[in-house]
């Protein structure tokens, strides 16, 4: 019996060693090296939707010879509807890297699920802090003007990529993108959840009544906010997490970044909790001629807050239904009243 137990215990170890050997062989081929050794691997924090693993690698021969730090980004166990595949995200990352956006350098894609159990790609490791509360927790009255201006400039570089310029056909037909289609999608989610949320219904109707004129569509990050970039010593190091990229109105990303729900410890700093709106837009206008008026910004902040409230409702229902019991999901649901208050304040539905 003890022999059977020992054999069972060594089987997972053998499988892990096989995966490591296959990964090293893949990296060796891609790097044009004589030999590659993965000396240490560690799962990085964050990445609720995808998994990120830090690889400490020793490369013998080729253009990457020496010690390297790479990140392996793979699908998580459960897939979130609407997010890009790793092959699609790798294509987006390559496109924005070529456009001069500060991102981790994309290296190699592996679509062979037999290699690692899931599709993955390799990118350069970049140092820095992502945690929103840490980045916003110790700022002065005007925040960090340099960092927030860099964020504005990099967002504008993303927005300079037009549908006709990029070979990103998998993002869909940009002609199908509209504010009304987005509103309909949010309403459809609430209807499927069968929840009574009068404030969210009010916000949906308000958005329909105040929809702005359309502008030229461009590439959107889709989740451009504090918490999804790396910063160090007051400088932007890299924009992360491209799984929700798509075509849309550039003001949508601006509204998401400036919405109160993503300002963490500094709700008074409209530039993502990092700096003033003025400094953010100044950086943006150094790259793009787009001008966004205050009433337009309010509309897109309402859309952003509404979107996050609907997502929070979805996550809460995953916990309450027993589908995925989780303290994190339950606590996300507790954000909804605060988001509703923001919606009422922004739309004039809350009397002061």
Sign (positive/negative) of CA torsion 86, 22, 61, 54? positive
pLDDT band at 352 (very low <50, low <70, confident <90, very high): very low
Domain boundary assignment for the chain: 14-124, 132-347
Average pLDDT, stretch 58-76?
95
Percentage of residues of the chain with pLDDT beyond 90: 78
Cα-based angle 221, 247, 189 (whole degrees, multiple of 5): 85
Q: Is residue 215 predicted with pLDDT exceeding 90?
A: no
Q: How many CB atoms lie within 10 A of CB 264?
A: 20
CB 168 within 8 A of CB 92: yes
Average model confidence (pLDDT) across the chain: 92
Residue-wise pLDDT tens digits, 172-210: 999 999 999 999 999 999 999 988 899 999 999 999 999
Cα(104)–Cα(106) distance, integer angstroms: 6
Say if domain 14-124 classifies as CATH 3.30.200.20: yes
pLDDT of residue 46: 63
Q: What is the pLDDT of residue 322?
A: 87
How far are the Cα atoms of 100, 247, 270 from residue 92, in angstroms, in the given order? 13, 12, 28
| Fold agreement (14-124, 132-347) | no
Cβ–Cβ < 8 Å for 44, 52: yes
Which token pair is 217? Answer: 């569509």
pLDDT in tens, 108-147: 999 988 887 889 999 999 999 999 999 999 999 999 999 9
pLDDT tens across 246-293, in order? Answer: 999 999 999 999 999 999 999 999 999 999 999 999 999 999 999 999
How high is the pLDDT of residue 10? Answer: 76
Of 72-81, 220-229, 247-256, the poorest mean pLDDT is in 72-81
The CATH code for residues 132-347 is 3.90.1200.10
The predicted pLDDT at position 321 comes to 85
**CB within 8 Å of 117: residues ≥ 6 apart:** 19, 74
**pTM score of the predicted model:** 0.91
Query: How much of the chain exceeds pLDDT 70, in percent?
Result: 93
Q: Indicate the DSSP class of residue 83.
A: P
């Amino acid at each position: 019996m003890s022999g059977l137990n020992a054999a069972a215990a060594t089987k997972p170890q053998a499988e892990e060693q096989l995966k490591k050997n296959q990964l090293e062989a893949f990296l060796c081929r891609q790097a044009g090296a004589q030999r590659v050794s993965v000396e240490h691997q560690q799962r990085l924090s964050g990445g609720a939707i995808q998994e990120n693993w830090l690889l400490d690698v020793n490369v013998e021969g080729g253009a990457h010879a020496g010690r390297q730090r790479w990140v392996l980004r793979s699908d998580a166990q459960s897939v979130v509807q609407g997010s890009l595949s790793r092959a699609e995200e790798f294509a987006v990352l390559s496109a924005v890297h070529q456009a001069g956006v500060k991102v981790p350098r994309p290296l190699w894609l592996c679509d062979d699920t037999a290699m690692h159990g899931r599709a993955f790609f390799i990118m350069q490791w970049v140092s820095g802090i992502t945690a929103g509360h840490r980045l916003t927790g110790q700022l002065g009255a005007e925040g960090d003007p340099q960092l927030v201006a860099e964020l504005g400039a990099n967002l504008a570089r993303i927005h300079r990529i037009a549908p006709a310029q990029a070979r990103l056909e998998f993002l869909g037909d940009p002609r199908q993108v509209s504010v009304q289609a987005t509103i309909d999608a949010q309403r459809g989610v609430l209807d499927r959840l069968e929840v009574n949320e009068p404030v969210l219904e009010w916000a949906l109707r308000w958005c329909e009544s105040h929809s702005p004129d359309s502008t030229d569509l461009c590439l959107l990050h889709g989740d451009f906010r504090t918490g999804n970039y790396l910063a160090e010593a007051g400088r932007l190091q890299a924009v992360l997490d491209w799984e929700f990229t798509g075509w849309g109105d550039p003001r949508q990303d601006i509204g998401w970044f400036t919405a109160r729900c993503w300002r963490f410890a500094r709700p008074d700093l409209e530039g993502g909790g990092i700096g003033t709106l003025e400094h953010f837009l100044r950086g943006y206008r150094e790259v793009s001629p787009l001008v966004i008026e205050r009433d337009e910004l309010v509309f897109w902040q309402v859309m952003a807050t509404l979107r996050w409230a609907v997502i929070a409702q979805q996550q809460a229902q995953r916990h309450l239904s027993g589908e995925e019991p989780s303290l994190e999901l339950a606590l996300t649901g507790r954000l909804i009243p605060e988001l509703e208050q923001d919606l009422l304040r922004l739309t004039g539905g809350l009397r002061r």
